[in-house]
Amino acid sequence: MSTRIVEIRAKVMRQNDLLAHALRERFETSGVSVVGLVSSPGSGKTAFLEKLLSGLARDFRVAALVGDLATENDAARLKRATPNVRQITTGTICHLDAQMIEKALEGWQLDTLDFLFIENVGNLVCPSSYDLGEELRFVMLSATEGEDKPLKYPTIFNSSDVAIITKMDLAEAAEFDVAAARRNIESVRPGMQIFEVSAKTGSGMQRVFQLLRDQLAHSRETRPALQIQTIQ
């Protein structure tokens, strides 16, 4: 039996990418700034997000989608900062995809929001393959995890826009070498913005708030004009 070769050239993530593209357009027209958070488990992502939400909630309308394998503890904790928190329970799936985001947003009026945060499942490998339509992606590592994290997971660091070093209050006790961590981040993603924060003491958070405020102002300046529908 003979065989023949048929060229097909198809992007494997096409379905996800199309959906992510549609989400990005929707976020843009709604004027909501969307930030994805990725990290390994235990990097202090929920504490950081809680600080972000409560800090921004004074001046802005904020919301969060929280991806988790099973429990709903994180969402309950974040609801102290804003009622607009939804949990995406992924079961055995180690990442969020664009379809989960679309589904979780059902019934939400995006144009009543300024910021939406999407906390991915704690995992530095799988989320790198899935675009969620976010405008910025923050990758987090904590001072207790070691400086070599970026070198072990170069893909996720490279595909993120901003690096956040968390738990800086523990840096000294953990003998964390900040300069080495910065060098390693710079090595896998030249030019990346890096912030050092402590959600516990609040140090460094002002700079992150400033980045987000600037981002919101910038995206609202450049966002496509709202479509005005006229009835003929």
Which residues lie near other proteins (CB under 8 A)?
Answer: 1-16, 93-95, 97, 125-126, 128-130, 150-151, 154-156, 158-159, 184, 186-191
Nearer residue to other proteins within complex by CB, 9 or 58: 9
CB of 101 to other proteins, least distance (A): 15
CA distance linking residue 200 with residue 212, whole number of Å: 20
Token pair in block for residue 112: 């009543």
Q: How far is the CB of 67 from other proteins (least distance, A)?
A: 13
Q: Toward other proteins, which CB reaches closer, 3 or 222?
A: 3
Q: What are the φ and ψ backbone dihedral angles of 230, each rounded to 5 degrees?
A: -115, 140
Residue closer to other proteins (CB basis): 21 or 80? 21
Closest approach of Cβ 170 to other proteins, in Å? Answer: 25
CB within 8 A of 66, min separation 6: which ones? 46, 49, 74, 75, 78, 85, 86, 87, 88, 119
By beta-carbon proximity to other proteins, the closer residue of 79 and 182 is: 182
Phi and psi dihedrals of 196, rounded to 5? -110, 120
Half-sphere exposure at residue 1, Cβ-oriented, CA atoms within 13 angstroms: 1
Residues 6 or more apart in contact with residue 52 via CB below 8 angstroms: 62, 117, 205, 208, 209, 212
Which amino acid would we find at residue 7?
E
In whole angstroms, what is the distance from residue 208 CA to residue 194 CA?
A: 10
Cβ proximity to other proteins: between 1 and 179 the closer is 1
Q: How far is the CB of 188 from other proteins (least distance, A)?
A: 5
CB of 12 to other proteins, least distance (A): 5
By beta-carbon proximity to other proteins, the closer residue of 23 and 113 is 23
Please state the closest distance from residue 38 (CB atom) to other proteins, in A. 11
